[in-house]
Each structure stands twice: as structure tokens, then as C-alpha cells.
């Protein structure tokens, strides 16, 4: 293969545009993003250290929370340092393979986060609906196996994105209208037939988000039925309280995620800068919020912090 055909198939680099339409404001937008990232890193590392150091926290809810904290660290770190480089230094260049690596980590750990949230909903369901069997059903080996399955699912489903893009020809268009290497944003630069990429992207979204959201909905429907049967109002409030933080985290993750997914495919009328801002916040807000929500609302964790 000649040098020209290699360049045709694999551009040496892509150029990340940042937030199209807000180029002048990007420098200032980076400051709140940087603060959110600092809170996310500090909060999630603190969570991991507390859970590791305290033997009484080595139970399903907190082990899943540790998985969530680790996932959030990888997810936010995969995109934010490069994004700050674009906003503050104007260094939008990213090598072809580096772009595929960033795409792999962002999409894999988005899938892992969805899976962990589903596992946490399952934990709440067993804790409230089958409290006596909770420790026997969700033993530590079962929790570790669930976490491993969620990670393997993410790796196996996202890897084909990279292989498919690696085989696609790219013509003269090297500017990605995004702040990071998002799958559909890169697919739009390819000059071959991208139908396989688009269909497979929809398939993965349905398998991951669809199945996880269905399982979460079923879990909370069952929880609601059991809680509403409780005779004591105090017992009902206590049960709702244990689920409230998880519901907040679920909404913070899925609402902007679904908006981003649908906008890429059907939201041509939505201004690009709105779409890109929501996509950026989708990867920053949950990692920042999760340790705050769980730290404040979970007494065992709050006691360890103070």
C-alpha cells in the first residue's frame, strides 16, 4: 500500500473543533468544566479510599458504589484533559489511533456505568423486597462477577466500533465537530458506506441502554409495590430514602445520554453548540454528582467523612 493510499484510509490526525459556534467563549467555559472535573476526581478518589479502608463498607451497595466511582474517574479522565487543551491551548489535534483509543474508553465506560447503575437497582430490589436473602443472594463473589460481566460486555460491544472505523476510508475531512472523539461524530467524517457503523451503533445502544433501563424500571416497579404495602409511613419513607440517591444518579446519567444519542441521529434542528454542551456535561455531571449525592445521603459514608 502506498503512502498516499495509507493517508487516504488513515489520516495522521483529526482536529477536534471543541464547541462549534462557541469558539470565543470556550476559554471561559473551560473554567467551570475544570472545577467539575476537580470535584469529580477528589470526590471519587475519597469514596474509593473510604470504602477500601472501612471493613464494614465491604457489602454489595458500597462495592457497587466503588465500581461506579472507578468508572467515573476513567470516564471523565478519558475526555477532560484533552478538552481543556482544546479550550485553553487551542491544541485540537489528536492522532488517528489516539482518537480511536479515546472513543473506546469513553463508550466502554459509559456502557459500564449503565451496567453498574442497573446492578445497583438490582441490589436495592433485593435489599427491600427480599431482605433476609440479601447477603446470600448478593455475596461478594456474586458482586465481583456482576462487575466483571458489565466490564466484559462493554469491551466486547464497543471494540467493533474501533475495528469498523479502522477499516473505513477517510477523505479530506479531518475536523471532528465535537470536543472529544464520539463514535457518530467520527463516522460522519468517513467517505465510505457507513450504514454498518450506524446500524451497529443503534444495536449497541439498544442492547446496553435499553436492557439496563428496562431492568432498572422493573426493579423500581417491584420496590414501589412492596413499599406501598408497608403499614408504617415511617418505614415507607425510610425505604424511599434508600432509593432516592440512586434515582437521582440514574436521571443525571440517562437524561443527557438519551438527549445526546437522539440528537446525533434525529436532532438536525438543534443548534450544534447545544448538542455538544449537553454531550460534554453528560460525561462530567454524573462523575461530579455521584460522590456528592451518595456521600451526603448515605449515613455510613457521611460519618466516615466527618
Range of the domain at 177: 13-300
Q: 235-240: list long-range contacts, CB under 8 Å, 24+ apart.
A: 239/128
The residues facing 16 across adjacent strands are: 176
3 state SS of 170: strand
In a domain, 191, yes or no: yes
Contact 104, 162 (CB under 8 A): yes
pLDDT value for 101: 95
Say which residue, 19 or 73, is predicted with more confidence: 73
Confidence check: pLDDT of 123 > 60: yes
DSSP 268: T
Taking the CA atoms of residue 119, residue 122, residue 127 and residue 133 in that order, the dihedral angle to the nearest 10 degrees is -100
pLDDT value for 146: 94
User: Could you report the per-residue pLDDT of 159-178, keeping only the tens digit for each?
Assistant: 999 999 988 888 777 888 88
Minimal CA–CA distance to 203: which of 294, 284, 111, 112? 111
pLDDT value for 3: 43
Alpha carbon distances (Å) from 39 to 36, 77, 111, 224: 5, 12, 22, 33
Percentage, residues of the chain above pLDDT 70: 92
Going edge to edge, which strands form the sheet with 175-176? 93-95, 13-16, 175-176
The domain total for the chain is 1
In a domain, 84, yes or no: yes
Which segments of the chain are extended strands (E)? Answer: 13-16, 93-95, 175-176
Q: In whole angstroms, give the CA distance from residue 138 to residue 116.
A: 14
In a domain, 59, yes or no: yes
Say which residue, 262 or 304, is predicted with more confidence: 262
Confidence check: pLDDT of 256 > 90: no
**Residue appearing with cell numbers 472513543:** 103
In a domain, 1, yes or no: no
| Residue 106 CB neighbour total at 10 angstroms | 21
Which phi and psi (to 5°) does residue 189 adopt?
-85, -15
> pTM, whole model, 2 decimals?
0.88
Q: In whole angstroms, give the CA distance from residue 118 to residue 100.
A: 27
In a domain, 3, yes or no: no
Contact 123, 60 (CB under 8 A): yes
pLDDT value for 272: 79
The residues facing 210 across adjacent strands are: none
Of 19-33, 50-64, 206-220, 244-258, which range is least confident? 244-258
Confidence check: pLDDT of 54 > 50: yes
Which cell numbers in the block locate residue 63? 462495592
3 state SS of 35: helix
Percentage, residues of the chain above pLDDT 90: 38
Which phi and psi (to 5°) does residue 94 adopt?
-140, 125
3 state SS of 175: strand
For the chain, the straight-line distance linking the first and the last C-alpha, in angstroms and rounded, comes to: 63
CATH code at position 51: 1.20.1070.10
Q: What is the DSSP string of 157-182?
A: HHHHHHHHHHHS-B-S--EESSSS--
3 state SS of 213: helix
Average per-residue pLDDT in the chain?
A: 85
**Residue appearing with cell numbers 462493554:** 154
In a domain, 49, yes or no: yes
Amino acid at each position: 500500500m502506498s503512502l498516499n493510499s495509507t493517508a487516504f484510509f488513515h489520516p495522521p490526525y483529526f482536529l477536534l473543533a471543541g464547541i462549534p459556534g462557541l469558539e470565543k467563549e470556550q476559554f471561559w467555559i473551560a473554567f467551570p468544566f475544570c472545577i467539575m472535573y476537580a470535584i469529580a476526581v477528589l470526590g471519587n478518589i475519597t469514596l474509593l479510599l473510604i470504602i477500601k479502608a472501612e471493613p464494614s463498607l465491604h457489602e454489595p451497595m458500597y462495592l457497587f458504589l466503588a465500581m461506579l466511582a472507578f468508572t467515573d474517574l476513567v470516564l471523565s479522565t478519558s475526555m477532560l484533559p484533552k478538552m481543556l487543551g482544546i479550550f485553553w491551548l487551542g491544541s485540537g489535534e489528536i492522532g488517528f489511533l489516539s482518537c480511536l483509543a479515546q472513543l473506546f474508553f469513553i463508550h466502554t465506560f459509559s456502557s459500564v456505568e449503565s451496567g453498574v447503575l442497573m446492578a445497583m437497582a438490582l441490589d436495592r430490589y433485593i435489599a427491600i423486597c427480599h431482605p433476609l436473602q440479601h447477603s446470600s443472594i448478593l455475596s461478594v463473589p456474586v458482586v465481583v462477577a456482576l462487575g466483571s460481566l458489565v466490564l466484559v460486555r462493554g469491551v466486547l460491544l464497543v471494540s467493533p466500533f474501533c475495528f469498523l472505523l479502522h477499516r473505513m476510508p477517510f477523505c479530506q475531512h479531518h475536523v471532528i465537530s465535537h470536543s472529544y472523539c464520539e463514535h457518530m461524530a467520527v463516522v460522519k467524517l468517513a467517505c465510505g458506506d457507513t450504514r454498518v457503523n450506524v446500524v451497529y451503533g443503534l444495536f449497541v445502544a439498544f442492547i446496553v441502554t435499553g436492557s439496563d433501563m428496562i431492568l432498572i424500571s422493573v426493579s423500581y416497579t417491584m420496590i414501589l409495590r412492596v413499599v406501598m404495602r408497608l403499614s408504617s409511613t415511617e418505614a415507607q419513607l425510610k425505604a424511599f430514602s434508600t432509593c432516592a440517591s440512586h434515582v437521582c444518579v440514574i436521571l443525571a446519567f440517562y437524561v443527557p445520554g438519551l438527549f445526546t444519542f437522539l440528537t446525533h441521529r434525529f436532532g438536525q434542528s438543534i443548534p450544534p453548540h447545544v448538542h455538544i454542551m449537553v454531550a460534554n456535561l453528560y460525561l462530567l455531571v454524573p462523575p461530579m454528582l455521584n460522590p456528592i449525592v451518595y456521600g451526603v445521603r448515605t449515613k455510613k459514608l457521611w460519618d466516615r467523612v466527618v
